[in-house]
Chain A
Amino acid sequence: MTTISSYLLFVLLGLGAGAAYAILGLGLVLKFRSTGVVDFGHGAVAMFAAYVFIQLRSSGVLELPWIWLPHEVTLSSQGLGTALAMLIAVAYSAVLGLILYQLVFRPIQGSSALTKVCAAVGVMLGLQAVAVLNFGTQGRSTPTILPSGIVRVAGLIVPVDRLYFAGLVVVLAAALALVYRYTRFGLATRAADENPVGASLMGLSPTRLAAWNWVLASVLAAVAGILISPIATLDPSSYTLFVVPALGVALVARFRSFAVVAATGLGLGIAQALITKLLTVWTWLPQQGLVAGLPFILIMIVMTVFTPRLAARGDQARSTNPSVGTPRAPFRTALGCFVVGVVALFLLQGSLRSALISSLVTACICLSLVVLTGYIGQVSLAQMSFAGVSAFTLTHLATDLGWPFPLPLIAAALVAVPLGVLLGLPSLRLRGVNLAIVTLAAASAMDAFVFAGGWFSGGDAGRNIGSPRLFGWDLGIARGHEYPRVIFGVFVLLVVCAVGVAVARLRMSATGRMFLAVRSNERAAAAAGINVSAAKLLAFGYASFIAGLGGCLLAYQQGNISGSSFGAFASLSLLAIAYVAGVGRIAGAVVAGVMLSPNGLFVTLADKYLHVGVYATLVAGLALTLTAIQNPDGIASTKAGARGAGDALVRLAKKFNAHGENVGAPLGPPSRFQAKAADPIEVQWSGERG
């Protein structure tokens, strides 16, 4: 085999993965163009469809997407035929897509980018959690679907199905491009995409069009998921994460061009295959993470440097940002919290005291999101990555170099600042959901390069960190058999209260008002003389420092840290709980830590007495989606004027009735737009183009 032809083999082998990325990317484009939602749960839908297909094919059992109610329907005592199983799984996915659209994404159509991101992440976490509970996590596999013979191309043995995959992608992309250019449905979708209000005045129903596009996209997700099931191991997390490369592909295509999606998807697959080959030739290349991480680094650079300013879609988006708290007397509040916290630390024992300390640490990391997402409106899906970098830096400074406390704590948190500013650079060009994608790509790249092993993160054993000591005074969480020690809790409480006061002072300062101005309208802010770029970078730096502090506290608390604490899913879950609790408020961060954190006080109590630990992810996903639909301000905002749950349910019922009337209305403009017409002032920064 000549050198050139051996590389050609890898080009052809890359088509399999490339096709999966491309087909998922096409679905993402359909969803975005019709609703403005970037569906982070798209990979999870593909995952679910693949499970349904495999179950039907192997045992004739139809798996329904819920738990604890009966979820297995036997359609046949033995496995169904491949074509029939595929047909049912695709139809299933279409129905699932329609239901998800109607229940989750339609109600948030006019919401802010943050709300949409959170709803999509909630769906993703929920579907993944149901899959883990119903199917387990052992990888599944199934016999081939497409003809699996081999062809000889220029003396190479190539599995023929890879060529079919590539052909399918080209056909699908061409078909979608033609549909969008020449059919009434396609033209109408484009019209609604360009100008929803105009389209509805023309008698088109953007919601109906969106529903159809959503169904089509779900069908594509199912096709991708099913076709690659014989070559990719099916498990709940791998498939769910296929959305990351697919998002990158769709982002390069600016969520518009089907041809670019197809080409980029296939190109990404080929690039990954070639890197795999090159790793065995150029042994000096860093092995760790290169295949998974490099494409995303490239995407980040391309998106940051070479794209014109890319505005999020959503011309009709109202700026329903989460409400922002107005701290009053931060010092007195902090003092009160401190006293309550110390009393709680003394009263609680054992696992509950540990849980309270965990809650405080999570609250600290959530405060970074309050600054970044709550105050200045930048969505980051990489906060745990910053916390991780600081935590590992701390272990190197304190354990290896022996720096005296508190130097390593402060230095390690400062290390996160330049990283945060670096990640903030894309925010100067990208907004809302596009920024969320780039930060998710960054988190994935950090997973692959930084946290998957190596000297910095200590590999499988993780890294150890000793107790902090101040003037010979042991502040550590453990001493001998004493664990968890109150003194460590007090130390954490002190840091969190100090950060809380700092954030409150920031909110009330000129800088805080500047952040809020940027959040509500960048152009207006710029016109008022605010340096928008500087404000954003400052916020990223500030938030990274807080996340870094939180990461260091986590390291001191655990005594040993490993990369798995700081993965992309950890960042997603963090945004989830911060958002559910109320990302615009300091109280929200506290609620997130105490009530919602998987290791926090409330969940520990619930698990201790009710044994519901295995449902934590599912509950987080559902709560996130429900919050996004119903209550973008989060739990914390209801503290003042809380009303009973019954009242809320009545309001919810009314709301659904109102939607119900709308569903049947043929091509009529939905009430949302009518309501909007009466809205005198619309803040439309997210609608800026070019």
Chain B
Amino acid sequence: MKTSRNWIGASGLTLMLALAACSSTSTTSPASSTSPTASSASPSASADVLGTPKAATGAPLVFGMLNLESGPVTFPEVRAGAEAAAAYVNAYLGGIGGRPIKIVSCPTDGQPATSARCANQILDQHPVAIIGGADSGAEASMPVWTRANLAVIGGLPFTPSESTSPNSIKFVSVSSGDNAAMAAYAGQTLKATSAAVLYTDNSQGGYTAKAIIEPTLKNAGVKNVTMIPVPPSAADLSAQAAAAVAVNPDVIYVETPNACANMIRALQTVGNKAKVMGLSLCTAPPVITAAGSAEDGYLSASPLVPWYGGSKDAVLYQAAMKKFAAPNTLMADTTAIGFQEVINLQAALDPIASSLTTASILNAFKTGTDHPNFLAHPYTCDGKQLAKAPAACNSYQLIYQVSGGANKALSETDWVTAGQFYTGN
């Protein structure tokens, strides 16, 4: 073993080349038999829902996108939704001003350094603007976009600067607006006076729990709030669940995004009688299947109207995903948010397609009020929709409840927001 060899480097390179050759055929989306997929989304959706084909021609408009697709937490479906929407826009809406949308993306892994590298790689391709993805390393990429004077349109705001930067536009407020609205609903509508919050004990979980949920609950009249941290890699959640039940709260708030089903089941196991509410991520179909009857009655807030429902947007979304997305694409709220941003982008930029600059792009969103917002409440980018989150153009949510194994909106028209009960941080 003492002889030196250089084949490791050579084999590593060969391996990379082999992987590259195969990467176009492999899929990174979680394929689970219990998840609904694009091909099974809606048998009733037909092609005419999509309208008359109007193909985009000419040189493509390049939009950059960073999305979590490697590392411990991934959201490949956000990009899948955005790409399906771009394909639909290019085939049926004539792209933007007749030019097709081209999305260049870079997979991130949650490490800020990777997001910074990816952002620089995207810059090399001279994008017109950036389409938001799901990226928990975005604190490192936002400064790159800001320096390059690029607008960042849509996506899931996972980190604070995505919601505060002047060059950022967010059509929905997830992780802030939805949790704040749900917490306000607990105090104001459900008249809860005590609550236990189960939250994942990492930087994002701690931030959402302590800076958004806890203060909003208190502001909305919930006097006693018990905070219970859940280790990110806990082998058994029943102790945390029992600790929540032991304080006899009116409501229990579940904020453990990667342990939804088990936490909800653990609450049932230890004999919980309180109302359970929390993240809308916990209403993804695979979670509801896994949690079973334990999730009946679970309340959550989501900025989207039911994308699996019968509204005009929902029918279009299902038909377009069926036609343009890969067959095993996970269909979740996050997929719909990816789709939404491209549709909104096209609607705003098509009229100004002849002069696309960062200033004109931002202006297109920031001028006027109540712009149509695909699958969501109309948006107004006046910087006043959510406290201390000037980039959020819409903080309205619908309240959903799980019942009989399905997540149903209590109403598709009663939009709620945390209003004055959420004061930002």
Contact = CB atoms under 8 A, between A and B. Distances in A.
B258 A351 contact: no
A403 B132 CA distance: 36
A511 interface: no
A355 B246 contact: no
Contact of A276 (B6, B18, B228): B228
B8 A132 contact: no
Contacts of B106: 607, 613
A154 to B, nearest CB: 15
A638 interface: yes
Interface in B252-267: 258-262, 265-266
Contact of B112 (A138, A235, A560, A608): A560
B238 A561 contact: no
Interface string A126-137: 000000110111
A642 interface: yes
A358 interface: yes
A614 B33 CA distance: 24
A632 B8 CA distance: 11
B58 interface: no
The bracket for how many chain A residues form the interface is 35 or more
B9 A635 contact: yes
A563 B203 contact: yes
Nearest to A602: B13
Interface in A264-288: 269, 272-273, 276-277, 279-280, 287-288
A231 B238 contact: yes
Given A453-B207, A607-B121, A280 B226 contact: yes
B236 A228 contact: yes
A623 B149 CA distance: 39
Contacts of A563: 203
B120 A138 contact: no
Interface stretch (A14-22, A207-215, A334-342, A679-687): A14-22
A58 interface: yes
B173 interface: no
Which of A280, A448, A632 has most B Cβ within 10 Å?
Answer: A280
A492 interface: no
B262 A453 contact: no
A399 interface: no
Contact of A235 (B15, B72, B242, B246): B72
A304 interface: no
Contact of B236 (A20, A610, A614, A649): A20
A616 B70 contact: yes
B29 A136 contact: yes
Contacts of A459: 203, 206-207, 211
Contact of A228 (B149, B235, B246): B235
A143 B265 CA distance: 10
Nearest to B264: A141
Q: Is the interface of A mostly helix, strand, loop or mixed?
A: helix
B23 interface: yes
Nearest to A460: B207
A53 B206 CA distance: 33
Contacts of B6: 635, 638, 642-643, 645, 648
B203 A451 contact: yes
Interface residues of B, number: 105
Given A68-B19, A233-B259, A616-B70, A279 B228 contact: yes
A140 interface: yes
Interface string B201-212: 111101110010
Contact of A231 (B22, B33, B266): B266
Interface in A558-588: 558-565, 570, 580
Interface string A318-338: 001000000000000000000
A468 B25 CA distance: 46
A617 B70 contact: yes
A651 B114 contact: no
Interface stretch (B136-144, B315-323, B377-385): B136-144
Given A232-B262, A617-B71, A626 B247 contact: no
Nearest to B117: A599
Interface string B1-35: 11111111111100111111011011011111110
Interface in B118-157: 118, 120-121, 123-124, 136-137, 139-140, 143-144, 147-149
A484 B120 contact: yes
Given A565-B111, A617-B71, A649-B7, A141 B290 contact: yes
A55 B325 CA distance: 24
A481 B28 contact: no
Contact of B107 (A6, A481, A613): A613
A292 B232 contact: yes
Given A10-B239, A287-B227, A292-B231, A351 B4 contact: no
8 contacts: A13-B242, A292-B234, A350-B123, A483-B148, A560-B140, A595-B9, A599-B113, A645-B11
Interface of A: 6, 9-10, 13-14, 16-17, 20-21, 58-59, 61, 67-68, 111, 132-133, 135-143, 148, 150, 157, 159, 162, 228, 230-233, 235-239, 241-242, 245, 269, 272-273, 276-277, 279-280, 287-292, 320, 349-351, 354-355, 358, 448, 451-454, 457, 459-462, 478, 480-481, 483-484, 554, 557-565, 570, 580, 595, 598-599, 604, 606-608, 610-617, 619, 622-623, 626-627, 630-633, 635, 637-638, 640-643, 645, 648-649, 651-652
User: Which 8 pairs, one residue from A and one from B, show the smallest C-beta to C-beta distance?
Assistant: A136-B30, A648-B7, A16-B236, A460-B207, A141-B290, A273-B239, A351-B120, A610-B20
Given A139-B262, A242-B233, A287-B229, 20 more contacts: A58-B34, A142-B290, A159-B238, A159-B269, A231-B262, A232-B234, A232-B236, A245-B235, A277-B246, A291-B229, A350-B120, A350-B123, A448-B231, A483-B148, A558-B116, A614-B69, A614-B70, A630-B7, A631-B5, A631-B8
